A and B are shown apart, each in its own frame.
Chain A
Amino acid sequence: MATLRLRSGTPADARNRRIIASRYLEIADLAAVEEGAGANNVVVGIAVLAGIAASDAICISATGSRYAGDDHAEAARVLAAVDSSLGSELAKLVRLKPGAHYGSTFISVADQRRALRAAQALVEAAIERTAGRRHT
């Protein structure tokens, strides 16, 4: 259990991370029509980035800080401390990473759809918590 690395953020940072999350999700949706070896891995990879950015926005908005390390499982635990259900969504997304990391054939179309659904839920939560809020 490494020392928790958190970085403080402003409402403007939360908004920026939410915008980035939405863009990643758009690209993941576009990539989802691609076929061939590794195509599903690419979608999962981008969906994870969308989920992490959305998680940052949610955490900053709720606590004024976000996880600053590169351990995505830790990021899911930090998000779970803010909202356990959203933490589970991010954990679901992060769980697809080993399949994408260790080969080009393990991730199925069904997994790809699960990744997109989880990323969508996180981006919607980030929008809900940051859009329309005053930022400096």
Chain B
Amino acid sequence: MDLTQPLSTLSPSLEGDVLTVLAHTEAPLSGRQIATLARRGSHTSVTSVLERLVDHGLAEVQRAGRAHLYRLNREHLLAPVVLQAVAASGELRRRLGQALRGWAIPCLHASLYGSVPRGDSRADSDIDLLLIRPETLTESEMDSWDDQVRGLELDAFRWTGNTLSCMDLTVQDLARGLEANEPIFDSWREDGVLLIGSSLHSLLRGLPKAG
């Protein structure tokens, strides 16, 4: 599914884009503003969609001078469906966090990075997850860790239809990458959304000094 525009899974037409814009604000917007905020559609086609939504009661219209202003009718029977669909990305974060907190081998840090938190993912985008595991795990603990990660990958696929792509590292792996100025650190710093555990900064600060 498209986690940036989850409603497109239910409504792939322009209606989905328009409803997404309406669901993101309680303030009334003009047709032109909605056309600008929607990912596609001309002013004319957006206005036509808005008129249809008004006919069905899902959008409300008010006059402001010569302009028509629209907003989602949040008391409509279908409004909860729209609002829940638009919030799917947050629900994914909640479910991932809940699953990660239940792990027998605790995860030191988990954060989403890449296109999903950046807001430019598409229907076929992977969900990129950075996982930091404890430094020294026995072979059997490592097996348990792998089973936990595999379980989460399968859950996330069932929840979304997208691949959960896990970057599974230790703090030492992270420290080597930082020392080598690996470019991926920029994405983790700029787009990373912490799900559970300590920040990367805290983890790296806790490392014993070399020498």
Contact = CB atoms under 8 A, between A and B. Distances in A.
Interface of A: 1-2, 71, 73-74, 77, 88, 91-92, 95-96, 98-99, 102-108, 111, 114
Interface of B: 1, 124, 126, 128, 142, 146-147, 149-150, 153, 157, 161-163, 165-170, 172-174, 176-177, 179-180, 182-184
Given A96-B168, A102-B182, 7 more contacts: A1-B157, A2-B124, A92-B146, A104-B180, A106-B173, A108-B172, A114-B142
A99 B182 CA distance: 11
Nearest to B160: A1
A88 B183 CA distance: 30
> Top 3 A-B pairs ranked by shortest CB distance?
A1-B161, A103-B182, A102-B184
Contacts of B165: 73, 98
Contacts of B169: 99, 106
A106 B176 contact: yes
A88 B180 contact: no
Contacts of B179: 105
B163 A99 contact: no
Given A74-B163, A95-B168, A103-B180, A108 B150 contact: no
A91 B180 contact: no
B161 to A, nearest CB: 3
Contacts of A111: 173
A12 B169 CA distance: 39
Contacts of A114: 142
Contacts of B1: 1
Contacts of B168: 95-96, 99
Contact of B170 (A71, A88, A96, A108): A108
Given A2-B124, A88-B146, A108-B170, A103 B184 contact: yes
